[in-house]
Structure 1
Amino acid sequence: MTAPILFHLPNDRNATAPPERRGIRRDQVGLMVSDRKTGDSQHTRFDRLIDFLNRGDTIVLNASRTIPAVLYGEWRRDQSVLVRRLEVRLAKQLSEQTWEVLPVKKGMRVGDEWIFSSQLKAEVIATDATSPLVTVKFSLEKEAFYEQIYRLGEPIRYEYIKKPWSLDYYQTVFATTPGSVELPSAGRAFSWELLIALRKKGINIVFLTLHTGLSYYLDDSYVMKPERNCEDYEVAEEAIATIAQTKKEGGKVIAVGTTVVRALESVVEESGQLQAQKGRTCVKIDAHTKLAVVDGLITGFHEPEASHLDLLNAFTGSKQLSKMYKEALTHQYLWHEFGDIHLLM
């Protein structure tokens, strides 16, 4: 059994503002480069990533776009108003009109309604006593639904972010397809200038899409098991062809974010071949997982006991990972979506 990674994260290690509002470019955040086998690390800046990759390597990015997933609506039951302004967080889309959502108050019942605007309403259609999430059916779908949430909603903001930042700060420069309720944050540090420089060196850049679900449920006692935290993804044939050619020629495949690892390891057939796919992945990746596609990982720094740390154990041993995180704290790297970046390879 893998030993857990235990450490204390001081409050001053939380990145509370985007780097652009701290006086630096997004690609000038810190970069810690760690050897997967030894746990030894080097310390530099993210715009020097190019120094650690070789011609023929492939970087895989998640092109999912962050949506404003926090809505406020009137909570009604049997025509009676229970709460005038209830915060509801989108967690995961199940179909065109149905979502799992997280209300900030408990006690929801099937049949309860939320009124977000004259056009957008939602009805609770299922609850689960073992989960803080409830399933709702919205009154709108597709473009009409997104038009409303972009008009009414806000990006999810956790307690370490003291000031609300606009949705633009929660996007990567290459994001295209809306669907993530939280920023796929590992890709945030990339600038177009860095991407162009990487291409000029002969490093391949490919994209896939995996829409990230909610990671925190406002209840420390509840942890969503990875196998239940299913997420929608799409990996196109063009990306598969480039990745397969990279592996054939001995290059490294570098996943940008745990979301990309999850998507890529979901498209491996039993024969070991990669297959372009679109679907929903519930794959669990941890120390017991033999990675078939990914050779390296660009990621942020994760909180103590976070499930993402289990995934990192697929890349390196717990002893090495503990060493890396101790060094990250010593060098005062910043955590979370606006923080610094960690490259394991």
Structure 2
Amino acid sequence: MRLEELEFDLPSRLIAAHPCEPRDGSRLLHVERGGGRIAHARFRDLGALLRPGDLLVVNTARVTAARVRARQKPEGTPVELLVLDAGTGRVCRALAGSRRPLKAGARLRSEGGAAILVEARRSDGSWGVLLEEREGGWIGLLAREGRMPLPPYILKKRAERSDAPEDRARYQTVFADREGAVAAPTAGLHFSEGMLTELAERGIGIARLFLRVGPGTFLPVRSARVEEHRLMAEEFEIGADCAEMVRKARASGGRVVAVGTTVVRALEHCARERGEVTPCSGATDLLICPPFSFRVVDGLLTNFHLPRSTLLALVYALGGAARVRAAYVEAVREGYRFYSYGDAMLLL
């Protein structure tokens, strides 16, 4: 697939800078996979678009407040670190953004005064960073100073160019329970506790898996063909309960609806490796773009994605390029909100 096939025009006014209030009040564009019919709804109406026996699969990854602001000594150049694998130790990996190129040996001082030494750059583009203080390690520093790792397109829309107190709660799903992600599984942001209860009462199952959303979600595709792009591997785990719920849904004729592209990648990786969804864990760098043979996923609940992105390529693979393009044109015409804090699309 050529990268330019993933282009579309989006007015900047449609990029959502803040979440919808309430969570389940966002809009929902329903696109039929079969005939391509498009209908407009509210996210809270999702239950009416599903059938008893259908299964929603969600990602329970919890976003870590992983952005750290610092200054490079001695000149004071601002540097922003995205900490990737914080632990109680003093060394971890981080992506770094700065007006001036960083070099190994650079010394930084965080907003709160922590001393940080930049070590060697690694093959994945990240830097080794050493926290010179010993108390609490990187986990401790993030607890004190970490900011929510909102995508750049949200920060650019805000006058203060920063996260806000509301993001601590709203850039998390209500079912998030496992730390470590540096981006939210955004399709799940629309669910409220009340909606989960209502779906269960309708006979719609909700299965949970974990995929640690990594920095690859921020990285642009540089290759001319999408399939030549290499995704950074992300840790995932599918437990016995999730695997059994998928098996039962498929056996009884229910549809498996992935809540977000991360869920699609975890389920399809497992099915390709093992022939079916079984309890498993590991890392996946599965890139899905047309043509792709889906073995597990029947439908997808997802946000509206950036042009020229692997996320949009995955949606094309499941829904068909022409059908998804038409849906995006309709979404723009009708003023849907785009990207992480935007509205949702159900492809089913």
Question: TM-score, normalization: structure 1?
Answer: 0.87
Distance 1:202 1:120, change over 3 A: farther
Gaps of 5+ in 2: none
Matched, 1:125 2:117: no
Match of 1:39 in 2: 36
Report the AA paired with residue 87 of structure 1: E
In the alignment, structure 1 residue 339 sits paired with structure 2 residue 345: no
From the superposition, tell whether residues 316 and 305 of structure 1 become closer, same or farther in structure 2 (CA, over 3 Å): same
State how far apart, in whole Å, the 2-side matches of 1:180 and 1:38 are: 36
The amino acid that maps onto 2:318 is F
Please state which structure has a larger fraction of its residues in helix.
Answer: 2
Note the C-alpha offset of 1:241.
0.8
**Retained in 2: the 8 A contact 1:109–1:127?**
no
Alignment of 1:106-121 (within 5 A): 106-116=100-110, 117=112, 121=116
Gaps of 5+ in 1: none
What amino acid maps onto 2:244 in structure 1? A
State the alpha-carbon separation in 1 of the partners of residues 327 and 240 from structure 2. 35
% same residue? 27
- Conserved in 2, the CA contact under 8 Å of 1:108 and 1:127? no
1:188 aligns with 2:177: no
Cα deviations by residue, 1:181-238 (Å, 9 ceiling, x for unpaired): 1221110000000000001111111111112123335x89699975332111111111
Partner of 2:141: 148
Equivalent in the alignment of 2:26: 29
Shift, 1:8, TM fit: 0.9
1:216 is matched with which residue: 218, 227, 247? 218
Counterpart CA distance in 1 for 2:102 and 2:56 is 44
Deviations 1:91-135 (A, max 9, x none): x4398742241323442222333333566635322245xx75434
Partner AA of 1:121 in structure 2: I
Question: Aligned partners of 1:261 and 1:337: how far apart in 2?
Answer: 17
Q: Output the aligned Cα RMSD.
A: 2.8
Whole-angstrom distance in 1 between the partners of 2:172 and 2:77: 31
SS of aligned partner of 1:267: helix
Amino acid at match of 2:9: H
Change (3 A) 1:146 1:34: same
Q: Is the partner of 2:271 in helix, strand or coil?
A: coil
The secondary structure found in structure 2 opposite 1:188 is helix
Contact preservation (8 Å) 1:102, 1:132? no
- What SS does structure 2 have at the residue aligned with 1:268? helix
**Tell me, what secondary structure is at the counterpart of 1:320?**
helix
Checking the alignment, whether the CA contact within 8 Å between 1:74 and 1:85 is kept in structure 2 is yes
Residue 4 of structure 1 pairs with residue 22 of structure 2: no
The count of corresponding residues between Structure 1 and Structure 2 is: 333
Task: Give the counterpart letter for 1:104 in structure 2.
Answer: S
Amino acid at match of 1:62: N
3-state SS in 2 of match to 1:233: strand
TM-score (normalised: structure 2): 0.86
SS at 2:39 equivalent: strand
Q: Does the CA contact (< 8 Å) of 1:226 and 1:283 recur in 2?
A: no
Provide the C-alpha distance between the structure 2 equivalents of 1:111 and 1:184, rounded to a whole number of angstroms: 35
Report the CA distance shift for 1:138/1:279 in structure 2 as closer, same or farther (over 3 A).
farther
